Amino acid sequence: LPDEFLAETMPIAKKIAAALGVDNYNVLQNNGKLAHQEVPHVHFHVIPKPNEHEGLTIGWPATKADPEKLKELASRLKL
């Protein structure tokens, strides 16, 4: 997906949320089978979160990041 297309995704997601009349929502995009991508093309989900029990729930085993690895990643991201 070209970067210039990505720049348009969040404004469109906000417009979808506004059209749905929701203030709280998640934007989800899965890449690859292990990440639960079901169809072989790029697409985004706008998932309303009306309360604590409905909508997307997120739960994975959280681990503390290694500060040195984060510094290394940050240096690799500087283009």
Q: Which amino acid is at 30?
A: N
Please list the active-site residues.
43
Map 3-40 to HEC letters. HHHHHHHHHHHHHHHHHHCCCCEEEECCCCHHHCCCCC
Q: Residue 45's beta-bridge partner residues?
A: 28
Using CA atoms, how far apart are residues 79 and 3, in angstroms rounded to an integer?
A: 15
